């Protein structure tokens, strides 16, 4: 029998199957093209490569074969197909076949495959695989998050805001807020690595403590936000509302590895955004 066929996808056994599928396609379709792959511009100005399309095509086929009851929202699908899938009553897979395509094209080793299952208005499982480091982050809603089989936990003790490493995408923030973060930051250090899915996961793993982004697509955060929250982190929009999982419009994202840090981070952002 095909692995996963008939399994409830929201179980540890099915999650293992999904991890295997994502690892397999990444090693076969992505890594052989790393450093030797051309690209083209899409209408929105982002890049797409043969690796993006090959990964999406293979995973769509395999997921539909094992779980035909679910629709598919893939980054490389048409907007009409994406909208139709989100209206599926039984749920939809949300796939970014190569998150960090610009890094991939420019031989920067920071990119991932990101897969989530959306049901009842939110993600119920997530898998993010980094083929360069062989790291697989995954989560089941209400059951926890793991990195290569080891459970992820919130920090035992959160650092002060001024000691934190923050993942900040300046170009999608309002210029005034971006300027304040650049000139008078509340954190200790700032990074931006160019793969939203992996940045969510590195936050979950404690490799940074804060993040802010002005406009992520659904497939950028569907899996990673669940992994962070199941690891004890907190994620909202910039105005403090829940992340939206039922549409295609870009959403802001404000996150931290713990509740107390998120509250302090949001308070600073809210105060300074109001002054801008």
Domains, in order of start, for the chain: 12-151 (3.30.540.10), 161-275 (3.40.190.80)
CB 105 within 8 A of CB 49: yes
Q: What is the pLDDT of residues 152-176, one digit of tens each?
A: 998 888 899 999 999 999 999 999 9
Distance CA 96, CA 87 (A): 19
The mean pLDDT of 184-194, rounded to a whole number, is 95
Among 22-36, 77-91, 119-133, 231-245, name the one with the lowest average pLDDT. 77-91
Q: What is the pLDDT of residues 23-78, one digit of tens each?
A: 999 999 999 989 776 666 665 657 678 888 999 999 999 999 999 999 999 878 88
Average pLDDT, the chain: 92
pLDDT of residue 49: 84
What stretches of 149-209 adopt beta strand conformation (E)? 150-151, 165-168, 189-191
Nearest of 228, 223, 226, 222 to residue 208 by alpha carbon: 228
pTM (2 d.p.): 0.94
């Amino acid at each position: 029998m095909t692995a996963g066929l008939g399994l409830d996808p929201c179980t540890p056994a099915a999650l293992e199957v999904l991890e295997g599928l994502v690892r397999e396609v990444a090693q076969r379709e992505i890594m052989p093209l790393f450093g030797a792959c051309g690209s083209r511009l899409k209408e929105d100005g982002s890049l797409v490569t043969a690796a993006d399309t090959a990964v999406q095509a293979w995973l769509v086929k395999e997921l539909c074969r094992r779980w035909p009851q679910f629709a598919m929202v893939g980054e490389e699908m048409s907007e009409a197909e994406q909208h139709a899938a989100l209206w599926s009553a039984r749920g939809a897979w949300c796939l970014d076949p190569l998150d960090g395509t610009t890094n991939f094209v420019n031989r920067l080793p920071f990119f991932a495959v990101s897969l989530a299952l959306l049901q009842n208005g939110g993600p119920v499982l997530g898998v993010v695989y980094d083929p360069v480091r062989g790291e697989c982050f995954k989560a089941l809603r209400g059951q926890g998050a793991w990195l290569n089989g080891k459970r992820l936990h919130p920090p035992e003790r959160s650092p002060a805001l001024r000691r934190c490493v923050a993942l900040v995408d300046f170009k999608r923030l309002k210029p005034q807020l971006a300027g304040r973060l650049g000139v008078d930051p509340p954190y200790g250090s700032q990074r931006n690595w160019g793969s939203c899915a992996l940045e969510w996961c590195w936050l979950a793993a404690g490799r940074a403590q804060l993040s802010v982004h002005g406009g992520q697509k659904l497939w950028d955060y569907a899996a990673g936000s669940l992994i962070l929250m199941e690891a004890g982190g907190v994620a909202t929009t910039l105005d403090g509302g829940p992340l939206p999982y039922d549409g295609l419009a870009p959403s802001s994202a404000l996150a931290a590895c713990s509740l107390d840090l998120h509250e302090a981070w949001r308070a600073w952002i809210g105060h300074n955004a109001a002054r801008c």
